[in-house]
Amino acid sequence: MEILRVEHLHKVYENGSSRVEALRDVCLSAEKGELVAVTGPSGSGKSTLLHLIGGVERPTAGAVHIGGVDIHRKTRAGLAVFRRRQIGLVYQFYNLIPSLSVEENILLPLRLDGRRVNRDYLEELLCLLKLQDLAGQLPGMLSGGEQQRAAIGRALIAAPALVLADEPTGSLDRRGSQEIMGLFKIFRQKYKQTIIIVTHDEDIARQADRRVEICDGRLAGAR
pLDDT at residue 118 tops 90: yes
Q: What is the average pLDDT across 62-70?
A: 95
From residue 103, give the alpha-carbon distance in Å to each of 108, 111, 123: 9, 12, 10
- State the amino acid at position 106 in one-letter form: I
Task: Tell me how far apart the alpha carbons of residues 19 and 12 are, in angstroms, rounded to a whole number.
Answer: 7
pLDDT of residue 222: 46
pLDDT of residue 33: 92
Angle at 159 between CA 96 and CA 60, to 5 degrees: 75
| For the chain, percent of residues with pLDDT exceeding 70 | 99
For the chain, the structural domain boundaries read: 33-58+86-222
Q: What is the average pLDDT across 14-35?
A: 91
Within 13 Å and on the Cβ side, how many CA atoms surround 100? Answer: 15
Q: Which residues contact 20 (CB under 8 A, 6 or more apart)?
A: 12, 13, 14
The confidence band for 101, taking pLDDT boundaries of 50, 70 and 90, is: very high
pLDDT digits (tens, 9 = 90+) for 125-168: 999 999 999 999 999 999 988 998 999 999 999 999 999 999 88
Residue 182 · residue 172 · CB < 8 Å: no
- State the amino acid at position 91 in one-letter form: Y
In the predicted model, what is the mean pLDDT of the chain?
91
Judging by DSSP bridges, how do beta strands 2-15 and 61-66 pair with one another?
antiparallel
Task: Tell me how far apart the alpha carbons of residues 83 and 54 are, in angstroms, rounded to a whole number.
Answer: 7
pLDDT of residue 223: 45
pLDDT of residue 48: 93
Helix, strand, coil percentages, rounded to 5, for the chain: 35, 30, 35
DSSP state at residue 72: G
Kindly indicate whether the domain formed by 33-58+86-222 is annotated with CATH number 3.40.50.300: yes
- Kindly list the strands in the beta sheet with 87-90, ordered across the sheet, starting from the edge strand earlier in the chain: 87-90, 162-166, 194-198, 35-39, 210-215, 218-222
The confidence band for 221, taking pLDDT boundaries of 50, 70 and 90, is: low
- pTM of the predicted structure, to 2 decimals: 0.90
| For the chain, percent of residues with pLDDT exceeding 90 | 67
**Of 33, 28, 85, 31, nearest in space to 52 by CA:** 28
